[in-house]
Amino acid sequence: MGEIMTSVELTALQAAQSDAVAAAVRAAIAVHGGWLPFEDYLRLVLYAPGLGYYSAGSVKFGAAGDFVTAPELSSLFAHCVANQCAQVLAITGGDVLELGAGTGSLAAGVLTRLAVLGQLPRRYLILEVSAELRARQRQALSALAPALAARVEWLDVLPAVPIAGVMIANEVADALPFQRFVIDGAAAYERGVGLSADGQLIDADRPASPVLLAELARLAPQGWPPHYESELCPMLSPWMAVVAQALAHGVLLLIDYGLPRHEYYHWQRDRGTLRCHFRHRAHDDPLLYPGVQDVTAWVDFTRVAEAGCEAGLEVTGFCTQAAFLLANGIEAEVAAADDAVARARLAAQARVLLLPGEMGERFKVMALTRGFDEPMRAFALQDLRRSL
């Protein structure tokens, strides 16, 4: 926390994009009377059509981008997710629906593996809000065998007829716009974005609204430390409600970096969980390079569970990514490599996915189900639901 981002040269294209996004933010601040809620700031810098980080053409994922996600890091991740999907699909039949499919790596790996397991879904549906990523996914998935590629369909909205099967959301909940708050003594503020006298974007705090005050009292009934700042994601609940509506029978697998609430709002985490990613550097200044850096916050998994239950789903499992991957056969996947070189490469990737100091414990997996009572193989090794 509190890192200073040392200056990084933007390309001319990135600088132009960032200037255009900053101009859009300034205009929005003016429309809002001088103060823009942080959630609205994020909607602009991440998702403004043609301009935002996810909507415009930056590389984002992988070595040449800003961050690496598990499916980009290793095919092992997709294979383990597919092993879990196969168990569910054998009971529910139906479809896989992936939310926010990034570059399409997970979709490609899951479909390929499900074909090997003889458990292909009827369709592999993708809901992607970014037109640019959707184009990238189309290109990546067109390289699949025609019998697999033919199952992929892109959706503009969630299906009106609810599906049976599996929904997957890897690193999507952390990408939803969130709110920031600041506790200072007895006072609570909502942190938004304003303008300095010379027109620069700055943090700007307003007294918390009655709605935010009530939410803060609910999140920490025993009270907050005197100096504290953090984040919360009011959008999670309406998002979950529409996602849940589209699931008739089966499992929503939500995978993300996050914590149960009592750890998320631990008194020692007094600078919150907000993180920005730009060219593999993490820092905590969301006003830097608007539109060309990713801005995220960790996921409060207690909120995910509450939102799922409100939406009529059941929380049937919660564990670390390491426990999920081990229970879904990651070791056997490594052992099955064609030769010693491939095995060594996969073993190195498995370490990053599994180790506590890497992705193994920061990332959690939650299963939210409807009408699905079978114990899932994912949670054979660990059940953290009591921590929620």
Q: x-or-dash pattern for ligand SAM, window 300-339, by CB under 6 A?
A: ----------------------------------------
Q: Which residue, 194 or 234, has its beta carbon nearer to ligand SAM?
A: 234
Query: Taking a C-beta distance cutoff of 8 angstroms, is the pair 193, 35 a contact?
Result: yes
Query: In this complex, which beta carbon is closest to ligand SAM, that of residue 133 or of residue 304?
Result: 133
- Sign of the dihedral through C-alpha 143, 148, 149, 152: negative
Residue 165 interacts with ligand SAM (CB under 6 A): yes or no: no
Backbone Cα Rg of the chain: 21
Of the candidates 29, 36, 56, 127, which one interacts with ligand SAM according to CB under 6 A?
127
Beta strands in the chain (DSSP E): 36-37, 95-99, 124-127, 152-155, 163-170, 179-184, 187-195, 201-207, 227-232, 247-259, 275-278, 281-283, 294-296, 299-300, 314-320, 363-370
CB of 256 to ligand SAM, least distance (A): 9
385: helix, strand or coil: helix
Contact between 106 and 141 (Cβ < 8 Å)? no
Residue nearest to ligand SAM (CB): 100
> Residue from 175, 201, 212, 376 that binds ligand SAM (CB under 6 A)?
175
Q: Does 129 bind ligand SAM (CB under 6 A)?
A: yes
Closer Cβ to ligand SAM, 93 or 162, answer by number: 162
How many Cα atoms within 13 Å fall on the side-chain side of residue 253?
28
Binder among 17, 69, 273, 328 for ligand SAM (CB under 6 A): 69
Whether the Cβ atoms of residue 125 and residue 163 lie closer than 8 Å to each other: yes
Scanning 32-40, 64-72, 144-152, 263-271 for contacts with ligand SAM by CB under 6 A, the matching segment is 64-72
Chain center to CA of 240: 13
Among 72, 203, 358, 361, which residue sits at the site for ligand SAM (rule: CB under 6 A)? 72
Instruction: Rule CB under 6 A: say whether 170 interacts with ligand SAM.
Output: yes
Interface stretch with ligand SAM, choices 167-175, 225-233, 285-293, 341-349 (CB under 6 A): 167-175
Output 171 or 231, the one with its CB closest to ligand SAM: 171
Comparing CB distances to ligand SAM, the nearer of 71 and 290 is 71
Helix, strand, coil % over all residues of the chain, rounded to 5:
40, 25, 35
- Residue 171 found at the interface with ligand SAM (CB under 6 A): yes
Interaction between residue 100 and ligand SAM (CB under 6 A) = yes
Q: Does 130 help bind ligand SAM (rule: CB under 6 A)? A: yes
What is the nearest approach in angstroms of ligand SAM to the Cβ of residue 176?
A: 6
User: How many CB atoms neighbour CB 25 within 10 A?
Assistant: 22
Helix pair 340-354, 75-92: axis angle to 10 deg:
80
**Residues sharing a CB contact under 8 Å with residue 235, sequence separation 6 or more, in sequence order:** 39, 176, 177, 178
Contacting positions for ligand SAM (CB under 6 A): 54, 61, 69, 71-72, 99-102, 106, 127-130, 133, 170-172, 175-176
